[in-house]
Chain A
Amino acid sequence: METTAYKTDMEFFVDMQRCIGCRACEMACAECETNGHESMIHVNYVERSTTIQTTVQVCMHCDDPVCAKVCPADAISKDDFGVVHSANTSRCIGCSNCVMACPFGVPKKQEQYDLMMKCNMCYDRTSAGKKPMCATVCPSQALYYGTREEIARMRPNSTPVNTFIFGQLTVTTKVNIMMPKGSTHLKVH
């Protein structure tokens, strides 16, 4: 983590409405070296009985990560680039506080290892100036990693939003979600 080639002008843009549920990202995610070849990304049907809508979720890399704050073992840390890292394996005690408290439902408890693992934006790749695995394979560009200029050119009718409202709580994140042009936030409840 000491010397890196992390590109600060590159950002993550997610548009779950474009997700077609192909699960290519799941396969790609398992190729990431930092998660021991376990897939960390989530693809799920939103309401299987009534719609074929699927959604995709990567870690949003919150500015003030709830996951890290609720961790009793100080196992989760945020680095200088704003990347919120997966659990420190020697510290995590597998309590699942982070799994249950993350407002986006991101961390995964690996029961067999008694350990939490989560998306760290493919830190082995992003720290070397490359794109995260999932974003390189997504055929519908529900997952996109690039500069603000690129996304503005590609999606003139959308605005990247990184403010989310959950009842009383407002969460801001490093990762953006593409919303209708002019939006300032996404109100979940």
Chain B
Amino acid sequence: MRHRFPIDKKAFLAAAVATLLCVAFSFYGSRKLQNFDPALIAYLFGTLFALAGAVYRYAVWLQRPPTWLYFKRTWQFVFNGSLLAHLWLLTKESVRNLAFQAFIYPRSRLRWFAHFMLASGCLAAFAITIPLTLGWIHFTLDPASAADPAAIKIYNAHFFGFTVMNFELGSTLAFLIFHALTWCSWLVIIGCLIFLIKRLTNAGLIATQTFEGDLLPLILLIIISVTGLGLNFSYAFLKGFAYDFMAVTHAISVILFLVWIPFGKFFHIIQRPAQIGVHVYLKEGEKKGMAICPHTHQPFTTQLHVDDLKTVTKELGFDFTLEDGSSHLDYSPEGKRSLLAKAHLAARCESGTYFG
């Protein structure tokens, strides 16, 4: 039998629209390609592919019943009632969970440190390279300062063709800006090495990890960072020694990384904000009241959660409805375990002996 991979039409449309929008933005953002750097063309295609793939997968993902439920509920809650309070909550949660990944800290300080290095390095590098690749940002030498040999050279930074800032060549700011990717590389390398050591030594991780799912992403990031650093180093200190080799390796690894974002481990970067939706959902659900387990008589989750799960499980083809019209999902996890044990005991009793 031939395998068919049906294309999801809605997702395809979303991906196409997003990609075209991005192309349009880049065309006009680079002032009709005037400020577009042709050396970055391969990266441009990688970025566009990553965008299309990520939007496609996100759209497919959103259409899964449980995902759609959280998505819908989050925005319902955010736009209902006190918008300001919700925006404050969203901001606070984003800083805590997305920028600082605070939820990792309790699992281990080292794990958090490694992840924070890795994430900060990657996110900062994205923030720099994507606008550069798309031609949204570019730098020019200030014509006035360039004309005067005695003057200190001034650089202008442009965003979407508008000049947003300038700085003197040789200043600390210039040093920080021109080497921003170097700092990112070091952060990524430190983070990756800690994780790599963990993954090669921890028995639990060794048993459950896969090469392409867990190790390859780390290796790829290390290659990207090392060759990126190498380019700089070769240019600054080695008179361009091995520059071409590193440029090619760098380009290949970056493009692999970009193309892989939608399909592999890196997709979690795009998926993670959903965690904030879950927090909003829990908070709003609590206001509406908790569900009480008929067996333990204790609250165990929000009534909203139980009701939503009844709908979602039915949509997925699991009908937990009981003969009396109530549901197995009305019971807490402990209640469910106890019910099973009671049914087991009853069956044993019926057979005439407690053990067998």
Contact surface of A with B, Cβ cutoff 8 Å: 1-2, 15-18, 32-36, 42, 44, 46-47, 53, 55, 57, 66, 69-74, 85-86, 90-91, 93-97, 99-107, 112-115, 120, 123-124, 127-128, 155, 157-158, 164, 166-169, 177-181, 183, 186-189
Contacts and interface: CB of A to CB of B under 8 A. Distances in A.
Contact of A167 (B274, B277, B327): B327
Nearest to B338: A46
Interface in B297-356: 300-301, 305-306, 309, 312-313, 316, 318-323, 327-329, 331-345, 347-348, 350-351, 353-356
Contact of A42 (B211, B337, B343, B347): B337
B340 A186 contact: yes
Contact of B208 (A16, A34, A112): A34
Contact of B333 (A16, A106, A123, A127): A106
Q: List 4 tightest A-B contacts by C-beta distance, closest first.
A: A105-B333, A180-B351, A55-B341, A33-B204
Given A86-B208, A97-B66, A188-B343, 20 more contacts: A2-B210, A33-B204, A46-B338, A53-B345, A55-B340, A57-B340, A66-B316, A70-B66, A71-B66, A72-B64, A73-B67, A93-B278, A95-B278, A100-B333, A113-B103, A123-B207, A124-B206, A128-B207, A180-B348, A187-B343
A101 B309 contact: yes
29 contacts: A2-B210, A16-B344, A17-B348, A17-B354, A18-B355, A33-B202, A46-B341, A46-B342, A46-B345, A55-B337, A69-B66, A72-B69, A73-B67, A93-B272, A93-B275, A96-B305, A97-B312, A100-B306, A100-B333, A104-B340, A105-B340, A114-B275, A120-B208, A167-B322, A169-B320, A179-B344, A179-B348, A186-B340, A186-B343
Given A96-B305, A167-B320, A32 B204 contact: yes
A158 B356 contact: yes
B268 interface: yes
Contact of A100 (B61, B207, B301): B301
A57 B337 CA distance: 7
B356 A157 contact: yes
B140 interface: no
Given A33-B207, A72-B69, A167 B323 contact: yes
B328 A167 contact: yes
A72 B336 contact: no
Question: Is the interface on chain B under 10, 10 to 19, 20 to 34, or 35 or more residues?
Answer: 35 or more
B204 A112 contact: no
A117 B66 CA distance: 19
B327 A123 contact: no
B308 to A, nearest CB: 9
B204 A100 contact: no
Nearest to A166: B328
A186 B344 contact: yes
Contacts of A57: 337, 340
A16 B345 CA distance: 8
Interface of B is mostly: helix
Contacts of B70: 72, 95
Interface of B: 61, 64, 66-67, 69-70, 97, 103-104, 106-107, 202-204, 206-211, 265, 268, 271-272, 274-275, 277-278, 281, 300-301, 305-306, 309, 312-313, 316, 318-323, 327-329, 331-345, 347-348, 350-351, 353-356
A1 B210 contact: yes
Given A70-B316, A74-B61, A113-B106, A186 B347 contact: yes
A2 B215 CA distance: 13
A112 B106 contact: yes
Contact of B337 (A44, A120, A168): A44
A189 B323 contact: yes
A104 B355 CA distance: 22
A181 B356 contact: yes
A172 to B, nearest CB: 13
Given A72-B67, A90-B265, A97-B66, A124 B339 contact: no
Given A100-B306, A158-B356, A169-B328, A105 B334 contact: yes
Contacts of A127: 207
A85 B210 CA distance: 13
Given A100-B333, A105-B335, A70 B309 contact: yes
Contacts of A105: 331-337, 340
B300 to A, nearest CB: 8
A188 B339 contact: yes
B107 to A, nearest CB: 5
Contacts of B207: 1, 33-34, 123-124, 127-128
